Structure 1
Amino acid sequence: MLRSPILRLASGLVALATVAAVPAPAQARLQCVTYARANSDVQLSGNARDWWGHADGVYTRGNAPRPGAVLAFRASHSMPMGHVAVVSKVIDGRHILISHANWSRPGMVERGVMAVDVSDAGDWSQVRVWYAPTGSLGMRPSSAFGFIYPKTETASNAGDRTSDNG
């Protein structure tokens, strides 16, 4: 018995809806802290918002970007856990390339994306970061603590603006 094209389409849609309703297996999403630990010599734990405090007395901290340093963002309404990213290249005092996870999309890894210091003082306290969904720098700045330097870098070569106090 032949069915009409409409009936075949309807039964195909019902079958598709049934398949789509079956939950997909849970997949672990890469978080920014996991990415930063795996891709830098800064080995801290806890939420990204806590890395700046956890680095106190363990790593040198400052506000001058250096390759291999971790840029620590403050918690905000849109980022309640904060964020961390690894500096991959310094272009100049106000422009760097960073690599990080979980910024543009949940679990997404982005390598070598632009971050720009938009603070009045040039101290990296306000940063705009490349945002893939818009294909541009983010619409609003994000607050940052500064940079956490790997132990292989000393305070003397981290720049004159380096400090150990927040």
Structure 2
Amino acid sequence: MRIFLAITAASAVCSGGTATASLLDYVGQCVPFARAASGVAIYGDAWTWWDQADGRYDRGHTPRVGAVVVFPRSARLPLGHVAVVSRVVEKRVVMLTHANWSRQNGERGHAEQDVTLFDVSPRNDWSSVKVWYRDSDGLGGSVYPVNGFIYGQGKAARELTGRHPDDVGALIDAYAP
């Protein structure tokens, strides 16, 4: 049954079909999830998105709701990672909705809504970040490089952010020791 639900959700995410599964029921890789959640029609490994967007989409270093944040490949992220900004809380704190980051029930691939992303770059330019991680119930200890944000031309998914996102919790994640 669980495999059927995952396939149904993935089918709805990838095809834009009429399946009734929620975007947040998705289990799989970050790329098809980010494409469905943002409307940015780029394919291939996450680390390739930044260069692929050049000339096709506006890119920059300021987070906006619906923008895709691109993590380049690194030792910890050999295929990179992409996530979608669901909420801008303040200049250095945003919320993401993404897939395949934290483990849930011992496995990766699940979607997570409105998790904290904190800019820790020395120049406040979003080139280095910390990401909320379920296993630590807060920001993980790792700092990740970021290429920047890809700004989609379409409308972001309705479920990108929740009804009552925890802005205060995101600020506490970012600034409380």
Q: What secondary structure does 1:133 align onto?
A: helix
1:134 to 136, 145, 169: 136
State the TM-score, normalized to the length of structure 2.
0.69
Query: Aligned ranges for residues 117-156 of structure 1 at < 5 Å?
Result: 117-151=119-153
Structure having the higher Rg: 1
1:80 to 78, 81, 103: 78
Query: Aligned ranges for residues 6-21 of structure 1 at < 5 Å?
Result: none
1:108 to 107, 110, 122: 110
For these two proteins, the number of residue pairs brought into alignment is 130
Amino acid at match of 2:134: A
Amino acid at match of 1:98: L
For the residues of structure 2 that align with 1:108 and 1:133, how far apart are their CA atoms?
A: 13
Amino acid at match of 1:40: S
Measured on the aligned residues, the alpha-carbon RMSD in Å equals 2.0
The share of aligned pairs that are identical, in percent, is 47
Which structure shows the higher helix fraction? 2
Report the Cα offset of residue 43 of structure 1: 1.1
Report the Cα offset of residue 131 of structure 1: 0.3
Amino acid at match of 1:45: Y
2:96 paired with 1:98: yes
1:89 to 87, 90, 97: 87
For the residues of structure 1 that align with 2:48 and 2:154, how far apart are their CA atoms?
A: 22
Structure 1 runs, 4 residues or longer, greater than 6 Å off: 25-28
Amino acid at match of 1:116: F
Report the Cα offset of residue 152 of structure 1: 5.1
Gaps of 5+ in 2: 8-26, 156-177
Gaps of 5+ in 1: 1-24, 154-166
